[in-house]
Amino acid sequence: MEAFIDFFNHIPSTYRAAILVGGLMLFWIIEGLIPLFSINYNRLKHAWINIFFTVTTIITNFAFAVFILKGSDWAVAHQFGLLHIVAMPTWAFALVGMLVLDLVGAYFIHWLQHKTRWMWRFHLIHHIDTHVDTTTANRHHPGESVFRAIFTLIAIVLTGAPMWLVMLYQSASALLSQFNHANISLPKQIDKVISWVIVSPNMHKVHHHYVLPLTDTNYGNIFSIWDRLFGTFAYVEDSKSLIYGVDTHFKQEEYADLNKLLQIPFLPYRPPVGAKFMKNNEGKTVEKD
């Protein structure tokens, strides 16, 4: 266990980059082999916008790295935070820490963005992707990346997480986000079993359905326990019936134009439109009569 802690305590930036890029490449390949949706679209053209936002997310995280390091070091030095209230074996320390970091740094800020109108405008950029795949995982407006970085910092201080645990959490968060966004088709029973512990692909795809109330469910990133505990869990048996996007932004010139995506948070709010679309017999999205 000491070797494990030492590895994440001194994990090189090249290793972290390898986890990010390696995860994308792995799930990108699997998507081509067992896709959930096999509708033809230009995967490379679609991916470049999401990769742009992945780069801005990385830049934002680097900008906050010094605050995260100092916050973690301060909490550990002063034995501040939930993890320091009682002594725990290392495995329990890591599990509890990961759970709370996921709750505050992922679930809560995600839920808050759906419930706070001005935050939702930033989060829209993630949701209006109409072809959700593994590259969608880091499709976050730079403003949203700042929100997430701030709440990650809050979670670190609240828990008193040491840097090895922070690195473990961030590595797992990146990899599992790529996994649950991936356009892959798992056997239903396997997906259901997975969804009792971590957020599975089918579970998260429900969150990307284009219309309420499903859009406001399944906020989790790593662990599914928080959605089940707080009553925000939803599961759709026929995942192929889902339609990706948001009912307020279904025009291609909005969801596929980088300049407009960057501007959306600063434009007037659009209230939900409602269920105007459906899947036809060929599995294509069409407007209802």
Burial of 162 (0-12, 13-18, 19+ CB in 10 A): buried
pLDDT at 159 > cutoff 60:
yes
With cut-offs at 50, 70 and 90, classify the pLDDT of residue 245: very high
Work out the average pLDDT over 180-207: 96
Name the pLDDT band for 283 (thresholds 50, 70, 90). Answer: low
pLDDT at 284 exceeding the cut of 70: no
Q: How many domains does the chain have?
A: 1
Give the per-residue pLDDT at 250.
Answer: 85
pLDDT for 61-100, tens place per residue? Answer: 999 999 999 999 999 999 999 999 999 999 999 999 999 9
The tens digit of pLDDT for each residue in 20-48 reads 999 999 999 999 899 998 867 788 888 99
Is the pLDDT at 280 greater than 80, yes or no?
no
pTM for the full predicted model: 0.92
In this predicted model, which residue has the larger pLDDT, 131 or 3? Answer: 131
Instruction: Say whether pLDDT at 153 is over 90.
Output: yes
Q: What percent of the chain has pLDDT over 90?
A: 78
Q: What pLDDT shows up at residue 255?
A: 85
Residue 287, pLDDT above cutoff 80:
no
Residue 4, pLDDT score: 82
pLDDT digits (tens, 9 = 90+) for 90-105: 999 999 999 999 999 9
Return the percentage of the chain with pLDDT > 70, whole number. 95
What is the CA 35 to chain-centroid distance, rounded? 19
Query: Residues 106-124: what's their mean pLDDT?
Result: 97
Residue 285 has pLDDT above 80, yes or no: no
Give every CB contact of residue 218 below 8 A, 6+ residues apart in sequence: 199, 203, 204, 206, 207, 227, 232, 233, 234
Give the pLDDT of residue 279: 61
Check whether 197 has a pLDDT greater than 60: yes
pLDDT tens per residue across span 201-235: 999 999 999 999 999 999 999 999 999 999 999 99
Q: What is the predicted pLDDT for the residue at 38?
A: 80
**Of 274 and 155, which is predicted with more confidence?**
155
pLDDT digits (tens, 9 = 90+) for 128-141: 999 999 999 999 99
Look at the block and give the residue holding tokens 């959490």.
169
In sequence order, what are the residues at sequence separation of 6 or more whose Cβ sits closer than 8 angstroms to the Cβ of residue 226? 102, 103, 107, 219, 220, 232
In terms of residue numbers, what domain contains 10?
A: 2-287
